[in-house]
């Protein structure tokens, strides 16, 4: 049974710092891995999708990596800003998405 | 292109009642998935519809049922509501359930409170 774990559960950093969020999964038979952002009380915004055959994807200040063999993904956020404050969730997809519990990020001005 | 829209945004129901939540998929998408997100938890998969047929189901009881219409919009119905059904219900649409490059696009969700 696929299980997804995210570390840390919460993170508070000063503005401008580079930071790394971690995601691990137990079954490497996945279609892809996706990172999402969720603002309080809101739906989910897709940030990056890494196909199972890929090793990383980049979008602006975000870079996500995938190592299927070790069951790990990282989301790197460069030069963090207060507007980055949100919960970041990773999910692995076979026919459905299986989610971690998220990392709650606070970027302080 | 229009995104995923869900209605209503908020809903308060009494235990034992029935509720219907609605979702319009993103233009061009033929697959709709429903997720339940309890406070402080990650979303849990309820079921998925692909071209009007159920295409997978999570660990939810039969009182959670759904429909997908010819225009690919969808409904989630919950009968005999229980207090634990209080959650944010998220709908996501995608192009193809079998593709490894078909990201899910989410609506803003319906916040259901059962009292």
The mean pLDDT value for B45-63 works out to 91
The whole-chain average pLDDT of chain B stands at: 91
B18 to chain A, closest Cα gap in Å: 23
Residue environment code for B15-39, b if the CB has 16+ CB neighbours within 10 A, otherwise e: eeeebebbbbbbeebbbbbbbbbee
Per-residue pLDDT at B98 exceeds 70: no
Q: What is the C-alpha to C-alpha distance for residues A73 and A92, in angstroms, rounded to an integer?
A: 10
Interface of A with B in 30-89 (CB under 8 A): 31-32, 34, 36, 41-46, 49, 51-53, 89
Question: In the predicted model, is pLDDT for residue A40 greater than 90?
Answer: no
Contacts of B38 in chain A (CB under 8 A): none
Section A67-74 average pLDDT:
95
Residue B19 scores a pLDDT above 60 = yes
The answer to whether the Cβ–Cβ distance between B92 and A44 falls below 8 Å is yes
pLDDT category, A93, cuts 50, 70, 90? confident
Tokens matching residue B97: 């359930």
3-state helix, strand, coil in chain A (%, to 5): 5, 60, 40
- Please compute the mean of the pLDDT values over residues B37-52 and round it to a whole number: 90
A32/B45 CB distance under 8 A? no
Six token digits for residue B102: 């078909």
Determine the residue of chain A that is closest to B58 in CA distance: A96
In the sheet with A62-67, reading across from the earlier edge strand, the strands are A4-7, A19-25, A72-77, A62-67, A56-59
User: Cβ B48–A99 below 8 Å, yes or no?
Assistant: no
3-state helix, strand, coil in chain B (%, to 5): 5, 50, 50
Task: Answer whether residue A94 shows pLDDT above 90.
Answer: no
Chain A CB within 8 Å of residue B48 CB? yes
Question: A17: distance to nearest CA of chain B, Å?
Answer: 26
Q: In the A/B pair of chains, how many CB contacts fall below 8 A?
A: 65
Q: How confident is the model at residue B55 (pLDDT cuts 50, 70, 90)?
A: confident
Burial classification of residue A83, based on how many CB atoms lie within 10 Å of its CB (0-12 exposed, 13-18 middle, 19 or more buried): exposed
What integer is the mean pLDDT of A63-75?
A: 96
């Amino acid at each position: 049974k696929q299980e997804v774990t995210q570390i840390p559960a919460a993170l508070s950093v000063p503005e401008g710092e580079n930071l790394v969020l971690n995601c691990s999964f137990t079954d490497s038979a996945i279609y892809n891995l996706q990172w999402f952002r969720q603002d309080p009380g809101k739906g989910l915004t897709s940030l990056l999708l890494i196909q199972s055959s890929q090793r990383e994807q980049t979008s602006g200040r975000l870079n996500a990596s995938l190592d299927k063999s070790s069951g790990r993904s990282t989301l790197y956020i460069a030069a963090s800003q207060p507007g980055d404050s949100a919960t970041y969730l990773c999910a692995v997809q076979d026919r459905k998405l299986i989610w971690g519990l998220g990392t709650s990020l606070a970027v302080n001005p | 292109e229009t995104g995923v829209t869900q209605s209503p945004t908020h809903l308060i129901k009494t235990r034992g009642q029935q509720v219907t939540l609605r979702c319009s998929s993103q233009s061009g998408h033929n697959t709709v998935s429903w997720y339940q997100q309890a406070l402080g938890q990650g979303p849990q998969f309820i079921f998925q519809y692909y071209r009007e047929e159920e295409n997978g189901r999570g660990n939810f009881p039969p009182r959670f049922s759904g429909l997908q219409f010819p225009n690919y919009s969808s409904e989630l119905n919950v009968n005999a509501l229980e207090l634990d059904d209080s959650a944010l219900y998220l709908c996501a649409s995608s192009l193809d359930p079998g593709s490894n490059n078909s990201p899910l696009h989410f609506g803003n969700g319906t916040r259901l409170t059962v009292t």
